[in-house]
Amino acid sequence: MAVTIGLISIIYFQLTFNSDGSNFQEKEKALELLSNITPINISQQGIGNILPSTGNSIFEVFVYSGEQEYTDTGLPTTTFKQQHFLLKPENTELYREIGVGFEQHNSVFVVPIFTMTAYGEPGFYNFFREECGTECLKDIPIRYESRPTFESSANTIKVLRLLGYPYITDIEIDKNPRILELFDKVILLHNEYVTSNEFEAITKHPKVIYLHPNALYAQIEVDYEKDVITLIRGHNYPSAEIKNGFEWKFDNTHPFEYDTECEDWDFIEIDNGVMLNCYPEKIIFQDERLLKAIKEY
């Protein structure tokens, strides 16, 4: 409910000050589109005993001892447990500098629910590991209840929410591509699997932060009557020579996707925004300079 109210206030703010006379910008239409954002599971709760996590952080960081580990697919031999974050009271002033809080702002980040679905099992990666045939690329149920993991930008989602950023999902963009016109700045995460509607809407928006490499990599199709996705093109499918399913000239998958340490991170300018040159899940909760750069762009 709090997310919906926050989004509605943002939309009202823009409609009041940035009306261009188009039907889409009418208050009633905006409220209709954003009144029921697709729910996602961003719970900071797990199972087992709470264990403090090591390392420096601008948040309280902890894991649950009984929580299942998952694999960082960029580093197949490494597993991680879900990390969770809480605000530190002593960092309140810092959060004002790097977050958006309850102030009027007009940014939104996109939760990669289609990518979360593709990485689940059974799913696309069972096919890529040659554990099954093309049936594993078709009619995969959308995983509304699953929690995001490393592959679907779990840490970034949690941190941006703590800092006050509102979100939408792939689904809102696919169903209503012009929804992005309501926001001055769009923060894209590891949205690797997207529809053609989503690809067009994102690449036409004038101000996008591509925060995770390998975004907009493969084209999927969605059947909302059955709530399933199907891989159409990309990621070496339907033939091995096909890499980016949209033949997108700004694809930054290689080598940046596999730099998960982000020791020398930087933003690279492209036609409609900037791209981070590494995969930031391990630093997003530690690097105040990065979070400030996201806010100020």
Indicate the pTM of the whole model. 0.86
- Mean pLDDT score across all residues of the chain: 85
Indicate the pLDDT class of residue 131, thresholds 50, 70 and 90.
very high
Judged on CB neighbours under 10 Å (0-12, 13-18, 19+), 68 is exposed
The DSSP string of 86-97 is E--GGGHHHHHH
Expressed in percent and rounded to 5, the helix, strand and coil fractions of the chain are 35, 20, 50
What distance lies between CA 113 and its chain's CA centroid? Answer: 8
The answer, yes or no, to whether residue 19 has pLDDT greater than 80, is no
How far apart (Å, rounded) are the C-alpha atoms in residues 165 and 185?
11
pLDDT digits (tens, 9 = 90+) for 79-95: 667 889 999 999 999 99
Which of 47-51, 240-244, 289-293 has the weakest average pLDDT? 47-51
pLDDT-derived band of residue 27, with 50, 70 and 90 as boundaries? low
Q: What would the pLDDT profile of 145-186 be if each residue is shown by its tens digit?
A: 888 989 999 999 999 999 999 899 999 999 999 999 988 999
CA distance linking residue 178 with residue 173, whole number of Å: 7
- d(Cα 43, Cα 33) in Å, to the nearest integer? 25
| Distance, first Cα to last Cα, the chain | 28
Q: What is the pLDDT of residue 12?
A: 38
CA–CA gap between residue 95 and residue 68 (Å, rounded):
30
Average pLDDT over residues 110-139: 94
Q: What is the mean pLDDT of residues 89-109?
A: 83
Identify any residues that bridge with 229 across adjacent strands, giving them in sequence order: 140, 222
CA distance 288 to 279: 16
Encoded tokens for 217:
């990599």
